Amino acid sequence: MSSALTNLTIGDCRSLIEKREVTALSLAEEYYAHIENQDARIGAFLTLSKERALQQADRTDRMAVEGQLLPPLAGVPVAIKDVMSTRGVRTTAGSKSLATYIPAYDCTAVARLEAAGAVILGKTNCDEFAMGSSNENSAFGPVRNPRDRSRVPGGSSGGSAAAVAADMAVAALGSDTGGSIRQPASFCGVIGLMPTYGRVSRYGLIAFASSLDHIGPLTKTVKDAATILKTIAGRDPLDSTSADVRVPDYVAELEQPLGALKLGVAQEYFGEGLDDEVRHAVESAIDRLKSLGCEIVPLSLPHTAYAIPTYYIIATAEAASNLARYDGARYSFRAAGVKSLSEMYRRSRDQGFGAEVKRRIMLGTYALSAGYYEAYYLKAQKVRTLLARDFQEAFRKVDAIVTPTSPTAAFRLGEKSDDPLAMYLADIYTVTADLAGIPGISVPCGETQQKLPIGFQILGKHFDESTVLRIAHAYEQASQTAS
Ligand code: GLN
């Protein structure tokens, strides 16, 4: 199991380093030793960036020795999902097509973490191009759930969730297009926050579906999620979709009393397919929030039933277009022994992409093709607007909405891999927030009889991560005192 030194929060790291009880260098080394011990069993990391990490730790230690004011994440060991570009460090997106790709620049979110003092330990395993809900679509093998190694950690940010859950990183970055931060967080028993669309720059994020992609933190505590969000949020001139909206001090706002917040509970999120143990745990979480003074408001989000087909048309259409760039001509995998340019494209893509990615490219290309565009893509865009309007209506009446994160706890490796539809249904409660562009967080709320973590989700208004975090924090504090 973990030594005390790897079971830390951001605040713990900071105070240890500030008081000079531990150096950033020894802390990084401690985490690497733990990764070396544990990760053969879990498979969370694809690449370790030791040289870069130790140089960064050394910079922090020199600042500490000189008595300089330390930045907010000084010496905090973090892990980065391998869909975010890291200068000089291999970035694969879980795909054979990028197995040897070494970016020349950093993703803005990574650069901001590092500028705040964080130590980037390495890159975490994920479903290929973030397409999946179990991490089984990685070209580099699955990740195992640290709570039960016969089960999946969720996906697509499975490596990031497992790394935090198994104390191999204090925090991690993940990406969420249809649930990929929140669902693995719930399967592994950690916090996962998807910010509002546009809140965090995606510069340097390997694109899956550009109108849905988000970067956000996976952490052990809500406060740590607030700290990371504060660090990475805000306008970035390198990403024209990043919003020029004031970034509040999420950490300071956590402590504001909840007051009489109105929490919506939508019947559509508690229907068929929801596992009984998950339902009970989420209902108890709602009861606890009620006892903290929140008013529970039953409501309806009537277009929810269309979310999965809508998502799987829009996401695949955008993916088909985004993935056109992996043609073997420049940085992606190139097939050997080809005789013509078109054969190079064909064979490189055939050999470089895995089955799920090919399925998505075909689905997306079909949905965009002449003759079908109106029936599928255009229709999906219209339904997306209806789904977003459901939330707009609801947020006229309530401050936030509480739902399960996933219909079940972690499933077994292989359980759904031959049934894409069953796998897609695992995203039923998460894709809606991506489609509407609103923020959402998954917070642990107990476990099944088999000791598998259960998570519940809090959804908020556009750019109102503060309220979402505040509710999550109040719940977390109350459950710690209760247990
Ligand atoms: N599971 C969903 C999918 O496969 C979501 C993935 C994601 O959020 N990146 O598309």
pLDDT 10s digits, 333-353 = 999 999 999 999 999 999 999
Residue minimizing CA distance to atom 4 of ligand 1: 132
Ligand 1: distance of its center to the CA of 231 in Å? 25
- Band (pLDDT 50/70/90 cuts) for residue 2 is very low
* Ligand 1 within 6 A of CB of 142: no
Using DSSP's 3-state secondary structure scheme, residue 328 falls into: coil
- Region of 476 (left: φ > 0; alpha: ψ -120 to 50; beta: rest) is alpha
Please write the tens of the pLDDT for every residue from 64-81: 999 999 999 999 999 999
Longest dimension (CA), the chain: 70
On the question of pLDDT at 86 being above 50, the answer is yes
Q: How much is the pLDDT for 481? A: 79
Q: How much is the pLDDT for 462? A: 98
Q: What is the C-alpha separation between 163 and 346, in angstroms, rounded? A: 36
Specify the amino acid at residue 445.
C
Atom index in ligand 1 nearest the CA of residue 356 equals 4
Residue 50 annotated as catalytic: no
Strand order in the sheet with 45-48: 45-48, 119-124, 77-81, 171-176, 214-219, 191-194, 440-447, 453-460, 400-404, 262-266, 295-299
Specify the amino acid at residue 374.
E
Specify the amino acid at residue 159.
G
Residue minimizing CA distance to atom 10 of ligand 1: 131
Q: How much is the pLDDT for 410? A: 98
Which of 49, 81, 223, 406 is catalytic? The answer is 81
* Sign of CA pseudo-dihedral 385, 386, 388, 389: positive
First to last CA, the chain: 22
Q: Are 263 and 398 in contact (CB under 8 A)?
A: yes
Domain locations in the chain as residue ranges: 4-253, 262-300+386-459, 309-374
Ligand 1: distance of its center to the CA of 180 in Å? 5
**What's the rounded mean pLDDT across residues 227-246?**
98
Atom index in ligand 1 nearest the CA of residue 360 equals 10
Residue 284 annotated as catalytic: no
Q: What is the C-alpha separation between 134 and 78, in angstroms, rounded? A: 22
* Ligand 1 within 6 A of CB of 440: no
Side-chain-side CA neighbours of residue 205 (13 Å): 28
Class of domain 4-253: alpha beta
Mean per-residue pLDDT of the chain? 96
Residue 442 annotated as catalytic: no
Q: Are 84 and 108 in contact (CB under 8 A)?
A: no
**What is the radius of gyration, based on Cα positions, of the chain?**
21
From the list 53, 42, 38, the residue with the least C-alpha distance to 159 is 42
On the question of pLDDT at 4 being above 80, the answer is no
Of 93-102, 154-163, 257-266, give the lowest mean pLDDT range: 257-266
Q: What is the C-alpha separation between 283 and 454, in angstroms, rounded? A: 12
Q: Are 412 and 154 in contact (CB under 8 A)?
A: no
Which of 133, 134, 175, 180 is catalytic? The answer is 180
* Ligand 1 within 6 A of CB of 177: yes
* Ligand 1 within 6 A of CB of 432: no
Which residue blocks in 77-221 are alpha helix, DSSP H? Answer: 108-115, 158-165, 182-188
- Band (pLDDT 50/70/90 cuts) for residue 6 is confident
Long-range contacts of 312-315 (CB under 8 A, 24+ apart): 312/363, 312/424, 313/363, 313/364, 313/367, 313/376, 313/377, 313/379, 313/380, 314/209, 314/211, 314/212, 314/377, 314/380, 314/381, 314/384, 314/435, 315/177, 315/178, 315/208, 315/209, 315/212, 315/360, 315/364
Using DSSP's 3-state secondary structure scheme, residue 401 falls into: strand
